[in-house]
């Protein structure tokens, strides 16, 4: 077949149309990224999908969902269910979602032997105020802030929640962000996103893969800011890290951070960071906090009780422990 002029023109036209079509197709798949400050942290959402317009509104809906959960579970908003529960000496009926998060938190509290605790509101507040000066709370203040704390501090009957001690103040800071991340990922999935990541200050939820390849999630070095310790390759699921570098103050070179050992009322001393990988960000969030408090040995043992959940712990001495099934999927830096 010889290429006559009309044929060449037709061929060129075809190539032009094909390239425009391809470009449009890939433009539709190009990820959309937005960030907002919610739940006291920067939330970054990146998502891709075939319908750009639908994706734009899905991102808005995902942020709105996180704001809605913050309004339910923040200890700082006086009208939140959690704040009302803290204030109420009487049992209170909560939403099915708050009930579900409380139940999950209580399960981790029980299995971790109390390393995770939903009732640390007064302790968290005591240390927050102390950090403003900064000074160390004294033993009497700590003892008083720990009153009523423990895995049996809340009794749930259906959606009715009762505090064993009326003075107990709730703090869902160790689990609520993870729950919000799960919800945001679910909203993006339902809106037709084919791939997404939601990062709420170290609580990361993933949908699908990133452009046909696994997501590569860097775990921050707990002592060298900006340095990545290891990279995990993941298709979907959640990665959550609790670290002593996220929020702290120092007195005489000692670091006092925001992850407390409920047995002592002081910041836990056995870890620098704990990362948990698994299907749900809510459970991974609670587990990361518990594993941080327990340290590498007991922490990884705890994860053994939760099928599908793996972890990496940087101990206080800088050594790194990794649960067996995670080892193959890690790239060290």
**Is 150 or 214 the residue whose CB approaches ligand AMP more closely?**
150
Residues 286 to 315 in contact with Mg ion, rule: CB under 5 A: 288-289
* Site residue total, Mg ion (CB under 5 A): 4
Which H or E run includes 45?
strand 41-48
Give the distance between the most distant pair of CA atoms in the chain: 95
- Least distance between Mg ion and beta carbon 34 (Å): 24
Site string for ligand AMP, 261-290 (x = CB under 6 A): -x----------------------x--xx-
Which of 55, 42, 25, 52 shows the shortest CA–CA distance to 198? 42
Which one of Mg ion, ligand AMP, none interacts with residue 124, CB within 5 to 8 A by kind?
ligand AMP
Residue tagged 């942020």 (tokens)? 63
Counting contacts by CB under 6 A, is residue 116 touching ligand AMP? Answer: yes
Q: CA–CA separation, 144 vs 149, rounded Å?
A: 10
Residue 26, sorted as left (phi over 0), alpha (psi -120 to 50) or beta, turns out to be: alpha
* Percentage helix, strand, coil for the chain under 3-state DSSP, each rounded to 5: 40, 30, 35
Query: Residue 75 to residues 22, 98, 104, 202, 326: CA-CA distances in angstroms?
Result: 49, 13, 18, 20, 35
For residue 116, the partner it binds in ligand AMP, Mg ion, none, with Cβ less than 5 to 8 A by kind, is ligand AMP
CA 330 to chain centre: 20
Helix (H) or strand (E) segment spanning residue 285: helix 281-294
Q: Which is nearer to ligand AMP, 262 or 278 (CB)?
A: 262
Nearer residue to ligand AMP within complex by CB, 262 or 296: 262
Interface with ligand AMP (CB under 6 A), residue total 16
Whether the CB-CB separation of 298 and 315 falls below 8 Å is answered with no
| CB of 81 or CB of 285, closer to ligand AMP | 285
Residues 222-251 that bind ligand AMP (CB under 6 A): 242
In the list Mg ion, ligand AMP, none, the entry touching 221 (Cβ below 5 to 8 angstroms by class) is none
Give phi and psi for 323, each to the nearest 5. -70, 150
Cβ-closest position to ligand AMP: 173
Q: How far is the CB of 125 from Mg ion (least distance, A)?
A: 18
Compute the least distance from the CB of residue 288 to Mg ion, in Å. Answer: 5
- 173 versus 311: smaller Cβ distance to ligand AMP: 173
State the residues that interact with Mg ion by CB under 5 A: 174, 285, 288-289
State the residues that interact with ligand AMP by CB under 6 A: 116-117, 120, 124, 171, 173-174, 242, 258-260, 262, 285, 288-289, 293
């Amino acid at each position: 077949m010889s290429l006559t002029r009309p044929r060449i023109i037709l061929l060129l036209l075809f190539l032009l149309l094909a390239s425009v079509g391809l470009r449009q197709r890939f433009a539709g798949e190009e990820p959309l990224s937005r960030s907002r400050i919610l739940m006291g942290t920067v939330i970054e959402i990146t998502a891709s999908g075939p319908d750009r317009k639908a994706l734009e509104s899905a991102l808005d809906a995902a942020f709105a969902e996180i704001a809605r959960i913050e309004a339910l579970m923040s200890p700082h908003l006086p009208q939140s269910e959690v704040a009302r529960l803290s204030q109420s000496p009487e049992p209170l009926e909560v939403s099915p979602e708050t009930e579900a998060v409380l139940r999950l938190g209580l399960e981790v509290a029980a299995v971790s032997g109390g390393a995770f605790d939903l009732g640390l509101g007064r302790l968290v507040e005591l240390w927050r105020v102390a950090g403003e000066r900064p000074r160390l709370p004294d033993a009497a203040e700590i003892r008083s802030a720990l009153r009523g704390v423990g895995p049996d501090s809340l009794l749930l009957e259906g959606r009715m929640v009762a505090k064993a001690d009326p003075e107990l103040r709730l703090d869902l800071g160790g689990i609520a962000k993870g729950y919000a991340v799960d919800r945001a990922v679910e909203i993006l999935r339902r809106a037709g996103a084919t791939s997404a990541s939601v990062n709420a200050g170290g609580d990361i939820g993933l949908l699908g893969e990133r452009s046909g390849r696994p997501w590569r999630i860097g775990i921050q070095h707990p002592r060298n800011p900006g340095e990545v310790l290891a990279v995990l390759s993941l298709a979907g699921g959640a990665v959550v890290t609790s670290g002593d570098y996220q929020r702290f103050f120092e007195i005489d070179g000692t670091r006092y951070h925001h992850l407390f050992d409920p047995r002592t009322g002081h910041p836990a001393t056995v870890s620098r960071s704990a990362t948990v990988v698994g299907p749900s960000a809510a459970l991974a969030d609670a587990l990361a906090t518990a594993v941080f408090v327990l340290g590498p040995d007991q922490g990884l043992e705890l994860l053994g009780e939760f099928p599908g959940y793996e972890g990496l712990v940087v101990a206080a001495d800088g050594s790194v422990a990794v649960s067996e099934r995670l080892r193959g999927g890690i790239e060290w830096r």
